[in-house]
Homo-oligomer: A and B are copies of this chain.
């Protein structure tokens, strides 16, 4: 079949998962953007429509456009592509809004071209789009969107990403406080140097968390979901972070941390029942503050980005 148009669902994702700052991410269900990508007779990439969010149509200023161009430049074709984006993930929410657009664009174009690139290869193109959003290229959101499940970015130059096992009961609770917190601000407050002692704790915890994913050892996941490096600083930007974390852990969460660079926060739980309790506990803490918010419960999306049949 020679497809001329494709409709996709590009899901939200959580990066900077506690001990896995800049390397560990996972993909969510339900919450995600929809995109339509269409072959055109004239070469080049165009963004023809964006709904749900005010974002530039100029492909040089839009993460989806930059990512799409990176792919098209690496695989010249006589045809061009036009992209429609139906944003459901709010920009600046910390659950991979720009990554979803970037990953969606390259995924869709790759499908229409007959899949010249593997999902792993698409990460590099999507990263170029991500670079616009965060000020530096990173792959910890686009990787779980493109590969599904939980991913580890070993290296970005060259791109080397490992898909990790995804225990079936692992469930995420996401709180999105509706405050603005642009990624590059959140990046700036991180110290450029860290103590070796804390770095060692961090890599001990990350190693243990990965081992726990392989062994489905929820107790060990809980002991290792820690971040002594970035969270102590960045959490100061998030209203009532400490209380939210305490309430989540008390309600049975395995761990609690900042999603991406915030303001969204996540809890991980074993199973949906505990996720519901954690969600209630979070709402109880956050509601009285008076800041508008959204809350989602989601199992880990082990498939990642997908085609919506016509």
Interface residues of A (CB under 8 A from B): 19-24, 152-155, 160, 162, 164, 190-197, 199-208, 210-211, 214, 220, 223-224, 229
A152, A153, A203 pick with most chain B CB within 10 angstroms: A203
Once the chains are docked, how many angstroms separate the CA of A214 from the CA of B217?
A: 14
| Residue contact B190 to A192, C-beta cutoff 8 Å | no
Across the interface, A24 reaches (CB within 8 A) one of B23, B196, B199, B207, namely B207
- Name the B residues within 8 Å of A206 (CB-CB): 203, 206-207
- Name the B residues within 8 Å of A207 (CB-CB): 20, 23-24, 152, 154, 162, 203, 206-207, 210
- Name the B residues within 8 Å of A200 (CB-CB): 21-23
- Name the B residues within 8 Å of A23 (CB-CB): 200, 203-204, 207
| Residue contact B194 to A199, C-beta cutoff 8 Å | yes
Residue of B nearest to A208 (CB): B154
Known: A202-B199, A203-B20, A203-B203. A211 touches B208 (CB 8 A): no
Once the chains are docked, how many angstroms separate the CA of A164 from the CA of B199?
A: 21
Give, as a whole number of angstroms, the nearest-CB distance from A149 to chain B.
13
Across the interface, A193 reaches (CB within 8 A) one of B154, B193, B224, namely B193
Residue of B nearest to A201 (CB): B155
| Residue contact B195 to A196, C-beta cutoff 8 Å | no
A21, A160, A200, A205 pick with most chain B CB within 10 angstroms: A200
